[in-house]
Structure 1
């Protein structure tokens, strides 16, 4: 069961950064970044021969946060998409597989620019997981770390 949450990506990533800074993080996390091409605009790459068939480019980041022991049956997902124009960054390429990135890269590339569109969702393995995930959500909403 997946539910959209009324949290912003900034809230969740800010909380996670603070949680890790305390040295007592109760969660695992994994972040990825991928460049995807759309169909509307031709993309210009460094090599003109590579341009064929590439169109408007989006940078897509996914952060998945789950309980440290994995037994609580929930995962919080932050999905952010940022349209970056009609060309790829010089050192990047459109890929089939997302690239694993660290938390600071996720923050700098997707949260800081403030041009991205994001949403937060909660995936529950069962209804019993809802109260367990509720504690985490309450911590994020209340800014438990107070930073």
Structure 2
């Protein structure tokens, strides 16, 4: 029983070690994602429907992930990419994208859940975060004396 518990504990550590997020240290990046072409029931998006994507930023760890008001909107785009500027504040950020579907000439607006960059799964096979690289300052002068 004890050996089984130890084996299970080690297996858990190995699994969680492989799903850890990669932190990219950069001041600018481009987020890319696949275009949404159908609804959750596999119905194709209609020819008159409009698809847009909302991109959000939030400090890691993501809290209240499906509440857009809890996060910073980086932009709304119709393309499947967005160039971002990572804040220079020493904080690691996760980025999330959700689909906005406008139908019926604007009468109906539907949203997908937010897909966060730190969540491992089919939507994000390689979880990641962004953090601005810390700038290096010169040391303060030493040996200051007066006459």
Q: Shorter-normalised TM-score: what interval?
A: under 0.3
TM-score, normalised by the number of residues in structure 1: 0.25
> Which of 1 and 2 has higher RCO (CA within 8 Å, sep 6+)?
1
Could you state the TM-score of these two structures normalised by the residue count of structure 2?
0.25
Q: Which has the larger radius of gyration?
A: 2
More helix by share: 1
